[in-house]
Amino acid sequence: MPIHFVNVKLDAFIVMTNQCMGTYVLFANHHYLTLKPNLALIEEKEVNTMELMKAIGSRRSIRFFKPWKPVEEWKIQMMLQAARYASCQGNCGSTEAIVIDKRIYPKEKFEQIIECASPFNEIHLRQAPVVIAWLLNLDAWYKELVQSFAVLFPSRAISAAHGWTYKLLTEVTYPRLMSFPRERTEALLRIEAGQAIANAFLVATDLGLGCCLLATGRKPTEFPKVLGTPDNVVPIWLMAVGYALESPAQRPRKRFDRLFHLNEYGNPLKEDSEVKEELKRRKMIQPMDPLPGREEEIKHICRMFGLTEAMPDMPKEHIKALYNEDSPYYGELPSGLEDKGV
């Protein structure tokens, strides 16, 4: 196989790419950096990546999976790496996870996990080949934060221009952060976990996987015991991961000017119609459910697994109210939803 090099000049930089071996060499002011191949790109034919905006628009909460189709381990690894590189306060890295591979996980223990989950999440857990339990490690804050933050100094992620010194960190900032009660710290770290989980979710979408975040509200106090986590580790979500058996469209969201404000709360930020059209072109905004055939698809899947084919009821007057001008969903809904009511 011939080796093909491409030289691209970027101002003071020269990038030389060996497209065969996947090696990148960057030259700048007589210095160079070599980036090694990344798993031979996991067979480029197998991985069809999408643009970020399309991945955001294509993300769905999947509730029916193909239990017969296993999830490749390298795809789970990519999801977790995406979570690891999410933004986190003070570089604390408090988000952790337990990957539950149902092929080798004890069946009786998995039944205990199902008993902890909310009843309407049981089908997801039984069908998905992989379940990820997302966790918060409070020791990352109370025991490791000064080390994690100190990494930012020599890596030049922060500077003295912002007022940072090691003395300030260790004598002022660190003692103040350590004084936070557990409830406040846990609330902060849940935000960090949300960013990490969102990263993992988008990478899963990019790799052709379906996911759904699941609550454990049936037995929340039993859940840590089932997972075997110590007191400093807090389980927060389960995530079902697998290949989607269903193909739902995008779900309606509240209108833009009800969510976002300009300069002060209550002053709606007007939605830019041109931006919205551009996002439709980039597939971040996609056609809304129910698309034609959606109800039939759900019923067919339910028949496959011996589940009820009934659709949940909603009074028509409640659905019609969503179309009123004072509704947060005004202008966002497809027409005809009232026909689905009773």
pLDDT score of 49: 66
Q: Can you tell me the distance from the alpha carbon of 120 to that of 114, in angstroms, rounded to the nearest whole number?
A: 10
Specify the pLDDT at position 18: 38
Residue 106 has pLDDT above 80, yes or no: yes
d(CA 55, CA 287): 14
pLDDT > 60? residue 7: no
Identify the residue with better confidence: 232 or 24.
232
Strands in 95-101's sheet, in edge-to-edge order, are: 95-101, 130-137, 233-242, 210-214
Judged by average pLDDT, the poorest of 149-153, 161-165, 230-234, 283-287 is 149-153
Q: What is the mean pLDDT of residues 212-234?
A: 93
Is the peptide bond preceding residue 230 cis, with omega within 30 degrees of 0? no
Helix (H, G, I), strand (E, B) or coil at 229: coil
What pLDDT, on the 0 to 100 scale, is given for residue 16?
Answer: 38
What kind of architecture, by CATH, is found in domain 52-242? Answer: 3-Layer(aba) Sandwich (3.40)
Least confident of 70-74, 108-112, 117-121: 117-121
Average the pLDDT over 206-213 and give the result. 98
pTM (2 d.p.): 0.84
Average pLDDT of the segment spanning 244-254: 96
| Mean pLDDT, rounded, of the chain | 87
Q: Which of 278, 303, 295, 288 is nearest to 335 (CA)?
A: 288
Residue 113: the pLDDT is 96
CA distance 217 to 231: 19
Residue spans of the domains in the chain: they are 5-37, 52-242, 256-340
Better-scored residue on pLDDT, 284 or 220: 284
The predicted structure's pLDDT at residue 48: 61
The two structure tokens encoding residue 301: 């899947």
Give the sign of the dihedral formed by CA 216, CA 220, CA 224, CA 227: negative
Q: Residue 232's pLDDT is what?
A: 96
Q: Is the pLDDT of residue 110 over 50?
A: yes
The number of CA neighbours under 13 Å toward the Cβ of 166 is 8
As a whole number, mean pLDDT of residues 246-258 equals 96
Residue 341: pLDDT band by 50, 70, 90 thresholds? confident
Query: If you average pLDDT over residues 82-96, what whole number do you get?
Result: 95
- Rounded CA separation 97/235 (Å): 9
pLDDT reading at 21 higher than 50: no
Asked if residue 93 lies in contact with residue 148, where contact means CB atoms within 8 angstroms, the answer is yes
What integer is the mean pLDDT of 10-29?
38
| Per-residue pLDDT at 71 | 98
| Torsion sign across C-alpha atoms 57, 63, 69, 75 | positive
Residue 171: DSSP 8-state: I
| In 228-321, beta strands by DSSP E | 233-242
Type of residue numbered 289 = D
Which of 3-12, 96-105, 288-297, 329-338 is the least confident region? Answer: 3-12
